[in-house]
């Protein structure tokens, strides 16, 4: 009897040790994603925690999702990817420096051909020194123009003024005849990247500009750059911008309140305008010296190179494929924030008018390129353009000063 009791106790102790060992083997994955929910819906944290709950059970892993601020996001993730306690899976905006520093895991050998084929923009993503793709590119959507049809009618403007000079005159007419503002943009954005995405690059493309030279370096000190800045300066000279230059979101809020005739904004803002009773419609872009031009961008999801050092790379890639799956992104785009689908298995779309307009102008959509020191360059360009609006720099001086900064502070 004592022998049986000893055996039972030994087995119990063994099982306890095995359970303890299993518990010790439970891995932890860290996922970094920026905040997208600024409304009244489900929070980003609750959404992503819900996505990963079944994943944790199925894979005996704890997933720590951290929702980060957009402020200094690029710097935050760059620093985090250098550290051992940084993310395993990460949402990436500017990827140039991350690729050059080999901070992102090569994905080709971890994904099946079927999985890679499912990503619509897979072939456009950057590769590392070994020739492996390192991101899953998203489609951030084209930044569209919005027009308040009631304000145009009040101002007696029958047709949308597409050409640059005609647009300036229409804005002045709106202000003279209605007392409302003609046009506002987000020059007070928290980052140069955010400001230029809506308030510089589209006009640069409309002027026929290309971002990079034959060496892959930024080059905007050209005729298109000068035409763009001279056009933007007219808004200040003609009193279309207010003197303080609007903060990020203020132009959107004022348009939603029926106080502004035209804005350029991300496509998802249409729901806000509709809910506020604005009688609005899209316009694809203005028409500059070279024609139409609107920008898009490709943020992405990636796996940190250090995930391999932690022994987490297989689980991290599995988490990456979950996050970027059509099923999860359909939910994200319907519950949190709308963006166009970026996988073949996604089904959720939001606005037929937007889809029709982008399809009609597919050759007029330009991707904002990645290049060395992009965030610092765009911060400098934003600051110099603001100085131009205040009368402290000419358009040519903006170009000269910005490119001098690039050559002396970034390239060296």
Question: Residue 12: what pLDDT?
Answer: 52
* Inter-residue contact 91 to 71 (CB < 8 Å): no
Q: Which DSSP symbol is given to 246?
A: P
Instruction: Locate 210 and state its tokens.
Output: 């290309």
Rounded CA gap, 364 and 211, in Å? 15
Secondary structure element (H or E) that encloses residue 163, with its range: none
Residue (of 147, 142, 103) closest to 126 by Cα position: 103
Residue (of 190, 203, 212, 191) closest to 370 by Cα position: 212
Question: Residue 311: what pLDDT?
Answer: 94
Pairing of strands 365-367, 260-265: unpaired
295 CB-side CA count, 13 A: 26
Residue 68, classed as helix, strand or coil, is: strand
Instruction: Locate 228 and state its tokens.
Output: 């763009």
Secondary structure element (H or E) that encloses residue 193, with its range: helix 192-199
* Inter-residue contact 402 to 381 (CB < 8 Å): yes
Q: pLDDT tens across 292-335, in order?
A: 999 887 899 999 999 999 999 999 999 999 999 999 999 999 99
CA distances from 406 to 91, 131, 322, 401 (A): 27, 28, 39, 9
Locate tokens 């007029």: which residue?
A: 364
Q: Domains, the chain, ranges and CATH?
A: 27-140+298-354 (3.40.190.10), 144-296+373-410 (3.40.190.10)
Rounded CA gap, 298 and 20, in Å? 44
Question: Residue 81: what pLDDT?
Answer: 97
Question: Residue 245: what pLDDT?
Answer: 64
* Inter-residue contact 328 to 397 (CB < 8 Å): no
Q: pLDDT tens across 240-293, in order?
A: 987 666 677 888 889 999 999 999 987 778 878 988 999 999 999 999 999 999
Neighbours of 346 (CB within 10 A): 21
Question: Residue 7: what pLDDT?
Answer: 54
- In the predicted model, residues of the chain with pLDDT beneath 70 are 1-24, 243-246
- Residue 298's contacts (CB-CB under 8 Å, 6 or more residues apart) are 121, 124, 125, 137, 138, 139, 140, 367
């Amino acid at each position: 009897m004592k022998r049986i009791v000893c055996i039972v106790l030994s087995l119990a102790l063994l099982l306890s040790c095995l359970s303890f060992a299993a518990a010790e083997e439970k891995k932890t994955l860290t996922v970094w994603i920026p905040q997208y929910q600024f409304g009244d819906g489900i929070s980003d944290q609750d959404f992503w925690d819900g996505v990963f709950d079944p994943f944790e059970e199925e894979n005996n892993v704890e997933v720590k999702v951290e929702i980060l601020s957009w402020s200094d996001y690029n710097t935050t993730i760059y620093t985090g990817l250098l550290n051992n306690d940084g993310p395993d899976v990460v949402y990436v905006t500017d990827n140039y420096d991350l690729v050059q520093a080999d901070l992102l895991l090569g994905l080709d050998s971890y994904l099946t051909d079927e999985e890679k084929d499912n990503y619509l923009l897979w072939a456009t993503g950057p590769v590392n020194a070994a020739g492996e793709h390192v991101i899953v590119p998203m489609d951030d959507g084209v930044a569209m123009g919005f027009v308040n049809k009631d304000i145009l009618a009040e101002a007696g403007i029958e047709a949308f003024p597409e050409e640059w000079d005609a647009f300036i005159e229409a804005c002045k007419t709106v202000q003279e005849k209605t007392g409302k503002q003609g046009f506002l943009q987000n020059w007070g954005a928290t980052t140069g990247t955010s400001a230029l995405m809506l308030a510089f690059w589209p006009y640069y493309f409309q002027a026929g500009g290309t971002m990079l030279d034959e060496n892959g370096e930024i080059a905007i000190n050209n005729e298109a750059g000068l035409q763009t800045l001279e056009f933007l300066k007219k808004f200040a000279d003609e009193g279309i911008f207010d003197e303080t230059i609007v903060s990020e979101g203020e132009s959107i809020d004022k348009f939603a309140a029926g106080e502004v005739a035209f804005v350029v904004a991300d496509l998802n803002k249409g729901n806000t305008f509709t809910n506020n009773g604005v009688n609005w419609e899209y316009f694809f872009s203005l028409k500059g010296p070279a024609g139409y031009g609107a920008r898009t961008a490709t943020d992405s999801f990636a796996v940190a190179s250090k995930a391999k050092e932690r022994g987490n790379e297989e689980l991290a890639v599995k988490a990456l494929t979950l996050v970027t799956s059509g099923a999860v992104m359909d939910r994200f785009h319907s519950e949190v924030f709308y963006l166009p689908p970026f996988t073949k298995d996604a089904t959720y779309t939001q606005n037929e008018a937007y889809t029709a307009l982008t399809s009609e102008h597919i050759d007029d959509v330009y991707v904002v390129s990645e290049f060395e020191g992009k965030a610092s360059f765009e911060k400098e360009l934003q600051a110099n353009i603001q100085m131009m609006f205040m009368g402290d720099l000419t358009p040519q001086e903006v170009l000269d000063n910005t490119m001098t900064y690039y050559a002396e502070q970034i390239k060296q």
